[in-house]
Structure 1
Amino acid sequence: MVSGEDVVETIRLKPDAGLVKSLGAHYSLESAIADLVDNCLDARATKVTIRLLTETDRLVQVQVIDNGTGMDGAAADKAMTLGHRREYAINDLGHFGIGMKAASFGHADVLTIWSSKDGATPVGRRIRRTDFSKDFSCEILSDEAAADAKAQRKRVTGAGRGTSVVWSELRGAYHGANTEEARTWMANAERSLRSHLGVTFHRLITKDALTIEILVDEVQYADEGIGMPVRAIDPFGYARSGHPDYPKTIVAESGGQKVALLCHIWPPKVDIPGFRIQGKSGERFQGFYIYRNDRLLQVGGWSQAANSSVQRQLARVVLDDESAIGFFLTMNPEKAGLRFEPIFRDALAHAAAADGTTFDAYLKDAETCYAEGNRRVSKRQPVIAPKKGFAPKLRRSIEAELPLLRSDSLNLQWKKLPEGEFIDVDFSNSTLWINSRYRYLFAPERGSLNDAPLVKALLFLLTHEVFEGSHLGPKDKDNISLWRAILSAAVTAEEEMRGE
């Protein structure tokens, strides 16, 4: 045992600058940029523009520009100081004082900020990862350069006030073996970023409290480009609950601390953005959705409080209680998921709703809803199999939803028909012809056998039954006449409305 008498001196140990080299190791590009958006929100920004700038199609610079309150020189120095924890307001998303540096150095060797605050001279600061990792040095940039950055920010956001964060000398961005590969990587990166930001900030975007735009362009043309808004992706955006008794609030309690869990059950057999996120199956997003000040910190996952399974894929739980973080849950610096403390898992075992529903009962209800949804599918009548003209993804979706008649198949193909006609039924060859005169309305790129999947899916659902009999009966012939008349009128109106 060491007693107080054994202490002979107290020294102050400064952090070793070498720790900078490990900063940001766990940040993805999407989570790193989301962390920068958090800083924008803490600065009361209502508009954030993210610019992914390229040279010969390779990503070379990332800019995050906001219209927030901005910083003066003293505030900028503190922002660039590793571990500096300012006085956080109750609604602030910042927490540790390392987010901007860690997020930036996870992807770039040079971090530059430009900022303007009302009544203060515009400022610029730059830190280089190699120098910062030796002695935490930071470069002060000229007033003239800061004024130029302010002018650029005003062109981008409409406000000179605010902050621009710039990453350069990027590390880890895929440059591609050739131009096509580089463009594909860039397109996928933008798509993933839009999806991540759309779900992370969906509440704020929906409430019009925040507008996020993303621009991908070559550096020399960026100032002429216009960013496209990020759309909100609501992970609870179903039209009707999958179970009449849900959503339902279940309360967990321990040590006098309570946390409310709003338990949802998605409707079965729904595959829309919100259930499917980043193009991935909704099965991967069952579990807890944890919010802090309307910012989504965790997108699904049971965090060892329950087991994932196919049968539980409709179950999603909202935890929206600031006080739970630090007691039941621990947040990591990347804000990419939280650690659930043992005390929370214990409390969950005894949690219950006002009507006595336990958390285990909720999971069973979700499993039952999923099972019943699958049983309903088995009652659907077999349909003719899709063949030529159907995109592979569309064919797979039809096969997953409907049993198929393997004795025959249906083709949907383009052919020149008389002007004013849209479809023609070729019963003997099991083919539905679509007038190629109007192909440009639905498939501008033309030439692909599997183009216009939406139009073809609708036509398949409308007409497949007439191809499943041994002959065309009077009702079938009447339906074909009806479809021809209405669809021909519709495609003519479509062409007129587009001014073609």
Structure 2
Amino acid sequence: MKCEPYRELATREVDATPYATSLIEGHRDFGYSLETALSDIIDNSITAGAQSVALIADTAADEAWIAIADDGSGMTEAELIDAMRLGSKNPTHKRAAKDLGRFGLGLKSASFSQCRCLTVLTRRNGKTSCARWDLDRIAQRNEWSLELIDNPELVKGHHLLPETGTVVVWEKLDRLSGGYTHDRGKRAEYMNSEFSRAERHLRLVFHRFLEGTKPRVKLLLNGRRLKPIDPMASSHAATQKDPEEILRLRQGDVVIRCHTLPHHKRMSQEEWDEIGGPEGHLKSQGLYVYREDRLIIAGGWLGLARQTELTKLCRIAVDIPNTMDAEWRIDVKKASAQLPPVVRERLKRVVERFVGTSKRTYRSRGQRLVDETRFPIWNRVQKDGQIVFRPNLEHPIFRSYAEQLPEGLREGFERCLRIVGAGLPIETLHAELVGNAEAVTADETSEHDLKVLVCSLATTLMENGVAAEALPDTLQSNPFLRVRWEAAAQILDDFLRTRVS
């Protein structure tokens, strides 16, 4: 077969510059929310070495506006122009350590997702520079024409500019009106609710920067300093921490730290609710991925485990450097990522071990229900691969009462107890425990009933050879009595004194 001679392709070049209006409008729809947009701007402030970042939101004005002001390094005019350019950084280029940027799109895309007018004022070495993108102006001209403003002192937000630093101003907040374009009161109410949600997000995402007596960054919202929310409860004395594991890869180290949160009874209600967040602890368990100390993923197991009530106190912090962005597929918003195969394999083993330990801890607590020395009111029974709970008919309080009944009534009494056991509202209990387990509690008992229970148990234990001095420890091991021990202890003291005398 005769081969055709090699021929080069004949090519021509034509101008295929993107239409300015179409492209820049497309940058509004990367999926940013208010909280992720604000986070992206704050990333730039932290990368610029800011020690203080102030968010100012004037939601009540006729034309609402938002400003993010920092005391970072500021920019020269040439640097400002470059920063305002879309795609100003190549994501494949090596970044400085602790650089929180990614594509060079965040400032623009995050801002455009919320507003139609983006103005940046910046000052370095006493020289102020100012530039603006106005999407309405671009739509009119359909050209890439960045405005440089020579009299920045007239620009909204200029009074917020420090001696060195940067102010980002959002105006024409069409995406934040909630549809209440002509109702200023409703619009302000909607915007304030959005900022309330964004506040929690910022406290969580940047918590490592906000922590400590000398935090790396102070973050303020309308003059109020934001406090960090640590999802690991790292500083709580009852938090259990496993030794860290380090996965060393060519692109850098992945550091894995497993935490088990304290039981809700060992935390204040405010602490418990704050760490659990609006969706609760069941939804907030799982992996927390940090990129240069900035939280990227907050909870969920990424397919490595199921969210269950038994594992809702499990948190695993995973730290990665910015050199792994491509492998983790960090998105533009820096709000999602994917596990690289080699990391997934290691994390799978870590999660299986960690989650297994947590489940065994819960199950060991459950097994204590069948410890005969504790005389449980309910017995936990495995039957045909399922678990059922039955009233313990041999419990001293039941036996004592049954023995006082005529012989003909005892079977009826025991039948009533069995019906109570069979009638447990399992589905309702399951729904309550999954949705709000910490709110489910035992009913109160009367002083007389508690006295009868303590005396019956103490009598039975002593008849079975338990010494009087060992009774407090033995009875206190009963979960029912443990939570009522102050009253139960007094009843036991009176019982022992009466018995001795």
Match of 1:404 among 432, 443, 456: 443
Matched, 1:367 2:359: yes
Quote the offset at 1:59 in angstroms. Answer: 7.7
Match of 2:132 among 111, 126, 136: 126
| Mapped partners of 1:397, 1:287: distance in 2 | 18
Determine the structure 2 residue equivalent to 1:63. Answer: 67
Secondary structure, counterpart of 1:325 in structure 2: helix
Contact 1:117 1:162 in 2 (8 A): yes
* Residue 75 to residue 59, structure 1, CA distance change in 2 (3 Å): same
Contact 2:292 2:321 in 1 (8 A): yes
* Residue 281 to residue 147, structure 1, CA distance change in 2 (3 Å): closer
Contact 1:45 1:67 in 2 (8 A): yes
* Residue 211 to residue 304, structure 1, CA distance change in 2 (3 Å): same
Contact 1:241 1:264 in 2 (8 A): no
Runs of 5+ unmatched residues, structure 1:
216-226, 352-357, 382-395, 409-463, 470-474, 476-500
Quote the offset at 1:107 in angstroms. Answer: 0.8
| Mapped partners of 1:257, 1:160: distance in 2 | 37
Matched, 1:139 2:147: yes
Q: TM-score, structure 1 length as denominator?
A: 0.64
Quote the offset at 1:235 in angstroms. Answer: 0.9
| Mapped partners of 1:406, 1:181: distance in 2 | 49
Contact 1:252 1:348 in 2 (8 A): no
* Residue 375 to residue 285, structure 1, CA distance change in 2 (3 Å): farther
Secondary structure, counterpart of 1:136 in structure 2: coil
Determine the structure 1 residue equivalent to 2:243. Answer: 248
Match of 2:216 among 204, 209, 213: 209
Secondary structure, counterpart of 1:78 in structure 2: helix
The amino acid across from 2:356 in the alignment is K
| Mapped partners of 1:313, 1:307: distance in 2 | 10
Secondary structure, counterpart of 1:116 in structure 2: strand
Secondary structure, counterpart of 1:135 in structure 2: coil
The amino acid across from 1:114 in the alignment is L
Determine the structure 2 residue equivalent to 1:165. Answer: 168
Quote the offset at 1:288 in angstroms. Answer: 1.6
Determine the structure 2 residue equivalent to 1:268. Answer: 263
Quote the offset at 1:402 in angstroms. Answer: 1.9
| Mapped partners of 2:27, 2:41: distance in 1 | 15
Matched, 1:282 2:278: no
Quote the offset at 1:15 in angstroms. Answer: 4.0
Secondary structure, counterpart of 1:123 in structure 2: strand
Quote the offset at 1:84 in angstroms. Answer: 1.0
| Greater per-residue strand proportion | 1
Quote the offset at 1:256 in angstroms. Answer: 9.5
Quote the offset at 1:102 in angstroms. Answer: 0.5
Quote the offset at 1:261 in angstroms. Answer: 1.5
Contact 1:49 1:213 in 2 (8 A): yes
Quote the offset at 1:242 in angstroms. Answer: 5.6
Contact 1:70 1:162 in 2 (8 A): yes
Identity %: 23
* Residue 59 to residue 320, structure 1, CA distance change in 2 (3 Å): farther
1:193-342 equivalences in 2 (<5 Å): 193-207=198-212, 208-215=215-222, 227-237=223-233, 239-241=236-238, 246-252=241-247, 259-269=254-264, 272=271, 276-322=275-321, 325-326=324-325, 328-342=327-341
The amino acid across from 1:201 in the alignment is F
* Residue 213 to residue 311, structure 1, CA distance change in 2 (3 Å): same
| Mapped partners of 1:372, 1:336: distance in 2 | 38
Match of 2:103 among 93, 96, 101: 96
| Mapped partners of 1:288, 1:69: distance in 2 | 34
Quote the offset at 1:199 in angstroms. Answer: 0.9
| Mapped partners of 2:219, 2:253: distance in 1 | 35
Contact 1:236 1:275 in 2 (8 A): no
| Mapped partners of 2:245, 2:274: distance in 1 | 22
| Mapped partners of 1:183, 1:201: distance in 2 | 26
Quote the offset at 1:319 in angstroms. Answer: 1.2
| Mapped partners of 1:373, 1:185: distance in 2 | 46
Residues 215-255 of structure 1 show CA distances to partners (whole Å, capped at 9, x for unaligned) of 1xxxxxxxxxxx10011111111524565xx4233455778
Contact 1:275 1:285 in 2 (8 A): no
Secondary structure, counterpart of 1:35 in structure 2: helix
| Mapped partners of 1:74, 1:4: distance in 2 | 48
* Residue 143 to residue 377, structure 1, CA distance change in 2 (3 Å): farther
Contact 1:124 1:146 in 2 (8 A): no
Q: TM-score, structure 2 length as denominator?
A: 0.64
Quote the offset at 1:144 in angstroms. Answer: 4.9
Quote the offset at 1:89 in angstroms. Answer: 2.2
The amino acid across from 2:79 in the alignment is A
Quote the offset at 1:336 in angstroms. Answer: 0.6
Query: How many pairs align?
Result: 375
Secondary structure, counterpart of 2:23 in structure 1: helix
Determine the structure 1 residue equivalent to 2:87. Answer: 83
* Residue 374 to residue 229, structure 1, CA distance change in 2 (3 Å): farther
Determine the structure 1 residue equivalent to 2:10. Answer: 8
* Residue 372 to residue 233, structure 1, CA distance change in 2 (3 Å): farther
The amino acid across from 2:325 in the alignment is G
Match of 1:188 among 188, 193, 210: 193
Secondary structure, counterpart of 1:283 in structure 2: helix
The amino acid across from 2:443 in the alignment is L
Contact 1:67 1:162 in 2 (8 A): yes
* Residue 348 to residue 108, structure 1, CA distance change in 2 (3 Å): same
Contact 1:288 1:300 in 2 (8 A): yes
Determine the structure 2 residue equivalent to 1:111. Answer: 118
Secondary structure, counterpart of 2:82 in structure 1: helix
The amino acid across from 1:172 in the alignment is R
Matched, 1:48 2:53: yes
Quote the offset at 1:142 in angstroms. Answer: 2.2
Quote the offset at 1:131 in angstroms. Answer: 4.0
The amino acid across from 2:132 in the alignment is R
| Mapped partners of 1:115, 1:42: distance in 2 | 15
Bigger Rg over Cα: 2
Contact 2:304 2:351 in 1 (8 A): no
Of residues 297-306 and 42-51 in structure 1, the stretch that sits farther from structure 2 once superposed is 297-306
Quote the offset at 1:369 in angstroms. Answer: 3.7
| Mapped partners of 1:9, 1:276: distance in 2 | 60
| Mapped partners of 2:123, 2:259: distance in 1 | 44
| Mapped partners of 1:372, 1:183: distance in 2 | 52
The amino acid across from 1:160 in the alignment is E
Residues 163-219 of structure 1 show CA distances to partners (whole Å, capped at 9, x for unaligned) of 11111111222265977755543442232122111111111111411011111xxxx
